[in-house]
Amino acid sequence: MSQHGAAGQRVRLVRDWEWARPVRPVRREVLSATPELEEGRPPLLFVPGFGHGAWAYAEHWLGHAAARGFGAHAVSLRGHGGSGPAPEATLRAYAHDVVQVAAGLPRRAVLVGHGAGALVVAHALARYPARAAVLVAPVLGGWATFGAAVRRNPLGTLPALFGGGLRLSRRQLFSRELPDADARRYAARLGRAARRAQWQLLAGADPEPAVGGPPVLVLGSPDDRVVPASVLTRAARRYGSAPLLFPGMGHDLMLDARWREPIDAILDWLVKEPTRDDRS
């Protein structure tokens, strides 16, 4: 796994708009599960994708990570879940939310982003030297991703072009293994991202290089009906690696029937990932 992040981009020292127009604070929902015994492992911060809230991780992954000795936290981006409303939010505001929560944790955190939350994490990595980053079924934006989404779900995708909500169907999000009642329950909880953030998914600027050279793991499913396998490969290549694949799962790996496999893989990777001191 790479320690360099997106290569070839320049570090920017003058951040005039960041300084002149800082992101406004908002109430942020953070759900946490802490291990019974503190084992000195880095805390995890889970970042949901567009439409999802911290609840998506609270279903299974938070508790499971805590049971394996990791402090686990999930944030709802502004305008999502239990966080304050933010109809005009941008990707910058979402990244700001992530960095604020990460910097508030007692130790250097691992950022885990799912779907468009992975793009938010990629932006946050330029602002916060994470211990490591995990991009789960990453939607890193661009017209290719949009094209794939239109082909698979034109009715749910096209309105987003005109400021409407991005609606993903149950069949895109979950495999058939997930009981229908669960799938309906989860789908009913989905909200929507702000218009400007949705547009930025198409035509926003690329994330700046990650600071601190964190190792990055990319994982997803070849049967994901939102993120094509080619996009997964491209995302992983950007961070100098190959994606870790979980066939037979839908886009929402943390809610799908076999949710345990990807989170165990992430935690195994974090346990094995050598510490900074060992690498030097």
Partner 1 sequence: MPTPTAHGRPDPETTTLARSRDGRPVADRGDTVCVIGAGASGLTAVKNLAEHGFGVDCYERETGVGGAWNWRHDRSPVYASTHLVSSRPFTQFPDFPMPDDWPDFPHHSQLLAYFERYADHFDLRRYVWFGTEVVRVEPAEDDRWDVTTRSTGGYGPERTSRYAAVLIANGHNWSPKLPRYEGLEQFRGEVMHASSYKDPAQLRGKRVLVVGAGNTGCDIAVEAAQQASRCWHSTRRGYWYAPKYVFGRPVDQVNDTLLALRVPLRVRQWFYHRTLRLTVGDLARFGLPKPDHRVYETHPIANSQLVYHVGHGTISPVPDVARFHPHSVELTDGRQIDPELVVFATGYLPRFEFLDAKILGDDEGVGRPRLWLNAFVPDHPTLAVAGLVQPDSGLFTLSHWQAVLFARLLRLRTTRPERAAAFAARVRSGAGERYSGPVKDSSRHWFEVGHADYLRALERALRDLEGK
Residues making contact with partner 1 (CB under 8 A): 10-25, 96, 99-100, 103-108, 127-129, 211-213, 276-280
Q: Which residues have C-beta within 8 Å of that of residue 93, sequence separation ≥ 6?
A: 23, 24, 26, 78, 86, 197
Which residues face 182 on adjacent strands?
none
Least separation in angstroms between CB 146 and partner 1: 30
Q: Which is nearer to partner 1, 11 or 155 (CB)?
A: 11
Structural contact between residues 235 and 243, judged by C-beta atoms closer than 8 angstroms: yes
Q: Which is nearer to partner 1, 13 or 181 (CB)?
A: 13
Instruction: Give the SS3 label for residue 78.
Output: coil
Q: Which is nearer to partner 1, 26 or 257 (CB)?
A: 26
Q: Which is nearer to partner 1, 260 or 279 (CB)?
A: 279
Tokens, residue 99: 């960095």
State the DSSP H helix or E strand holding residue 74, giving kind and residue range, or none if neither: strand 72-75
Least separation in angstroms between CB 197 and partner 1: 18
Tokens, residue 119: 């793009």
Least separation in angstroms between CB 25 and partner 1: 4
Least separation in angstroms between CB 99 and partner 1: 6
Q: Which is nearer to partner 1, 202 or 205 (CB)?
A: 205
Least separation in angstroms between CB 195 and partner 1: 23
Q: What is the DSSP secondary-structure string of 97-143?
A: HHHHHHHHSSSPPEEEEETHHHHHHHHHTTTS--SEEEEES----SH
